[in-house]
Amino acid sequence: MDFSLKNEYEMARTLFRDFAQKEVAPLAVEIDENHRFPTETLKKMQQNGFMGIPFSKEWGGQGCDYLTYVLAVEEISKVCGTTGVILSAHTSLGAGAINELGTPEQKEKFLRSLVDGRKLGAFALTEPDAGTDAAGQQTKAVLDGDEWVINGNKIFITNAGEADIYVVFAMTDKSAGTRGISAFIVEKGTPGFEFGVNEKKMGIRGSATRELIFRDCRIPKENLLGREGKGFGVAMGTLDGGRIGIAAQALGIAEGALEKTIEYVKERKQFGRPISAFQNTQFTLAEMKTEIEAARYLVYLAASKFDKGEKFGTEAAMAKLKASRVASWVTDQAVQLHGGYGYIQDYEIERMMRDAKITEIYEGTSEVMLMVISGALLK
Amino acid sequence: MKIIVCIKQVPDTTEVRLDPKTGTLIREGVPSIMNPDDKAGLEAALRLKDEYGAHVSVITMGPYQAKAVLREAFAMGADAAYLVTDRAFAASDTWATSSILAGAISKLEYDLIITGRQAIDGDTAQVGPEIAEHLGIPNVSYAEELHLEGDEIVVKRQFEDYSHLVRAKLPALITAMGELNTPRYMTPGGIFDAFRAKEIVEWNRVDVPVDDGDIGYRGSPTRVVKSFPKTVKVPGMKIEEGVEESAEFILDKLKEKYLL
pLDDT tens sequence across A78-94? 999 999 999 999 999 99
Give the list of residues 6+ apart from residue B62 with CB closer than 8 angstroms, or none.
Answer: B8, B9, B83, B84, B85
> Measured between CB atoms, which of A8, A18, A19 is closest to B192?
A8
> Measured between CB atoms, which of A11, A18, A62 is closest to B189?
A62
Judged by DSSP in three states, A1 sits in coil
Is residue A173 within 8 A of residue A180, CB to CB? The reply is: yes
In a domain, B257, yes or no: no
Chain A nearest-CA distance from B186, in A, is: 7
> Measured between CB atoms, which of A15, A50, A61 is closest to B191?
A15
In a domain, B235, yes or no: no
Chain B nearest-CA distance from A83, in A, is: 17
CATH number at B168 reads 3.40.50.620
Judged by DSSP in three states, A209 sits in strand
Edge to edge, what strands does the sheet with B80-84 contain?
B163-169, B152-158, B139-149, B172-176, B112-116, B2-6, B55-61, B80-84, B200-203
Radius of gyration of chain A (CA): 21
Cβ contact B186–A15 (<8 Å):
yes
The residues on B that touch A, with CB distances below 8 Å, are 68, 71-72, 75, 184-196
**Catalytic residue positions of A, numbered:** 363
Q: Residue A272: exposed, middle, or buried by beta-carbon count in 10 A (0-12, 13-18, 19+)?
A: exposed
Per residue in A165-180, pLDDT tens? 999 999 999 899 889 9
Phi, then psi, of A166 in degrees rounded to 5:
-120, 135
Cβ contact B190–A53 (<8 Å):
no
* Angstrom distances, CA of residue B185 to CA of A50, A216, B34, B64: 11, 44, 13, 23
At residue A259, the pLDDT reads 98
Cβ contact A8–B196 (<8 Å):
yes
In a domain, B40, yes or no: yes
Spatial separation of the C-alpha atoms in residues A322 and A249, rounded to whole Å: 12
Tens of each residue's pLDDT in chain B, 260 residues: 999 999 999 988 777 677 777 666 676 778 899 999 999 999 999 999 999 999 999 999 999 999 999 999 999 999 999 999 999 999 889 999 999 999 999 999 999 999 999 888 877 889 999 999 999 999 999 999 999 999 999 999 988 888 999 999 999 999 999 989 999 999 999 999 999 999 999 999 999 999 999 999 888 998 888 777 666 677 777 888 889 999 998 888 888 888 77
B186, B193, B196, B200: which to substitute to probe chain A, counting the most A Cβ within 10 Å? B186
Contacts of B189 in chain A (CB under 8 A): 49, 52-53, 57, 61-64
pLDDT-based confidence at residue A135 (cuts at 50, 70, 90): confident
In a domain, B229, yes or no: no
Q: Are strands B112-116 and B2-6 parallel, antiparallel or unpaired?
A: parallel
Per residue in A13-43, pLDDT tens? 999 999 999 999 999 999 999 999 999 999 9
Cα of B216 vs its chain's centroid, Å: 19
Give the bridge partners for A218, in sequence order. A149
Query: Which of B178, B231, B226, B228 lies closest to B17, judged by CA?
Result: B228
Contacts of B188 in chain A (CB under 8 A): 12, 15, 49-50, 53, 62, 64, 68, 72
pLDDT-based confidence at residue A1 (cuts at 50, 70, 90): confident
Spatial separation of the C-alpha atoms in residues A46 and A237, rounded to whole Å: 25
Query: Which of B95, B41, B80 lies closest to B197, judged by CA?
Result: B80
Spatial separation of the C-alpha atoms in residues A208 and A194, rounded to whole Å: 14
In a domain, B236, yes or no: no
What does the pLDDT average to over A254-258? 98
In a domain, B221, yes or no: no
Is residue B24 within 8 A of residue B18, CB to CB? The reply is: yes
Spatial separation of the C-alpha atoms in residues A29 and A41, rounded to whole Å: 14
At residue B21, the pLDDT reads 73
What ipTM is given for this predicted complex? Answer: 0.93
In a domain, B151, yes or no: yes
- What does the buried/exposed string (b/e) look like for A135-169 if buried means 16 or more CB atoms within 10 Å of the residue's CB? eebebbbeeeeebbbbbbbbbbbbbbbbbbbbbbb
Per residue in B185-202, pLDDT tens? 999 999 999 999 999 999
Number of structural domains in chain B: 1
B32, B191, B195, B200: which to substitute to probe chain A, counting the most A Cβ within 10 Å? B191
Phi, then psi, of A194 in degrees rounded to 5:
-125, 170
Q: Are strands B9-11 and B2-6 parallel, antiparallel or unpaired?
A: unpaired
Chain B nearest-CA distance from A362, in A, is: 27
Domain that holds residue B124: 2-214
Cβ contact A57–B189 (<8 Å):
yes
In a domain, B141, yes or no: yes
The residues on A that touch B, with CB distances below 8 Å, are 6-8, 11-12, 15, 18-19, 48-50, 52-53, 57, 61-64, 68, 72
Give the bridge partners for B104, in sequence order. none
Chain A nearest-CA distance from B36, in A, is: 15
